[in-house]
Amino acid sequence: MSFEEIHVLLRPEGSRLVLRHQQAQSIARGVIHINHGLAEHSERYTEFAKILSNAGYHVYAQDHRGHGHNIGAEHPKSMFAMRDGAAKVLNDVDCINQLIKERHPGLPVILFGHSMGGLIAFNYALQKPENINGLSIWNSNFGNKSERIFARFMLKVERMLKGSDVPSQFLPKVTFRSWAKQVQPSPCTSPTMFDWLSSDQTVVDAYLKDPLCGFDPSVSMWLDIFQWMEQGDRQKNWERLPKNLPIRFHAGALDPATNFGQAVTAFATRLQQLSFSDISHKIYTHSRHETLLDQEREIATQDFIQWSDRITLTSFQTGPLRHH
């Protein structure tokens, strides 16, 4: 079953934004705003949303531009936009944030992001930290400077030779295909390019059968993603974050996309070393990239709910976060 409601919001530019909503099943504690990952869509978070709903949370999740059911003339499949895609996606997040505040005034808002969605969520927090009460980042890797420089150079070469609206030939080789080679496939099935997502074969099979998943991102989309990586990794940009903003990182120890969790631990440690006072992280021993769809999903979900309960209770007691 899908989320309870589907909203189509008309953007000022005339494009649409598909948004799903799950109503809290008890007195609401807060709102969780989910940002999905690359080459997937928000409906894959249905079961997670139901559990959050039963725990007292309203849940909102949009299909990002060029993904799922959010495909149009201005943002065709595998492209965020014809130009300025990274900024437009962040504007979409802000649009939803404002809708949440209009519909649920006074409720704490926790911004959630998985993988690419974690890059989006962190960049939004850098721009408008006053709009959220907590930030939850799952399985995201901001990379390192040398890797980003080389990847962006190769993407710009591809853009010059072939254009920006075609699939990149280079990036899948150093991401999806490389990661697939670093995990042990199920002994009962043939290896696939997406075995790195989860050790649960039913999850991988469903992903492969889903026509809205697993597409090859365009050169343009990859360049926008690397822009978020660059902006998010730049410590100068962290100055607007409140030092007491609760930020929680999750990752799988079997996830090659995050260097088996090491990239997540390193990023969290950097924030702690800069005196951010409410940084925590957890690496799940038996999980790959999609922690919420792997063997430890129940534990990871309950960990997130417990953390969210603390954030929402604190928000009700103390009011808005103070900026430093």
pLDDT at 235 over 80: yes
Task: Answer whether 35's CB lies under 8 Å from 113's CB.
Answer: yes
pLDDT at 165 over 60: yes
Residue 164 is assigned to a structural domain of this protein: no
Distances (CA, A) of 253 to 124, 257, 263: 27, 10, 11
CA proximity to 217, closest of 178, 182, 173: 173
Which distant-in-sequence residues (6+ apart) come within 8 Å of 229 by Cβ? 119, 142, 143, 148
| Stretch 126-154: mean pLDDT | 97
Q: Looking at residue 324, what is its pLDDT?
A: 32
pLDDT at 176 over 50: yes
Q: Looking at residue 321, what is its pLDDT?
A: 47
Give dist(CA 10, CA 125) in Å, integer: 24
For the whole model, what pTM was predicted?
A: 0.95
Q: Which residue has the higher pLDDT, 72 or 273?
A: 273
Domain count, the chain: 1
Residue 158 is assigned to a structural domain of this protein: no
Residue 246 is assigned to a structural domain of this protein: yes
Q: Which residue has the higher pLDDT, 5 or 250?
A: 250
| Stretch 299-324: mean pLDDT | 79
Q: Looking at residue 13, what is its pLDDT?
A: 72
DSSP per-residue codes, 222-260: HHHHHHHHHHHH-GGGGGGS-TT--EEEEEETT-GGGTT
Q: Which residue has the higher pLDDT, 65 or 186?
A: 65
Report strand pairing: 57-62 vs 16-22: antiparallel
| Stretch 191-196: mean pLDDT | 94
Task: Answer whether 26's CB lies under 8 Å from 57's CB.
Answer: no
Task: Give the chain's mean pLDDT.
Answer: 93
Which CATH number fits the domain that encloses residue 287?
Answer: 3.40.50.1820
Neighbours of 109 (CB within 10 A): 22
What's the number of CA atoms in the CB half-sphere (13 Å) around residue 253?
8
Structural domain that includes position 114: 5-143+229-318
Residue 107 is assigned to a structural domain of this protein: yes
pLDDT level of residue 184 (50, 70, 90 thresholds): confident
| CA angle (11, 14, 17) in 5-degree steps | 45
Which residues partner with 62 through β-bridges? 19, 35
Task: Answer whether 118's CB lies under 8 Å from 250's CB.
Answer: no
Residue 102 is assigned to a structural domain of this protein: yes
pLDDT at 249 over 60: yes
| Stretch 231-237: mean pLDDT | 97
Task: Answer whether 293's CB lies under 8 Å from 198's CB.
Answer: yes
Residue 83, φ and ψ in degrees, nearest 5: -155, 155
Residue 117 is assigned to a structural domain of this protein: yes
- At 243, list the tokens: 């030092």
Distances (CA, A) of 324 to 65, 126, 282: 33, 13, 26
Q: Looking at residue 92, what is its pLDDT?
A: 95
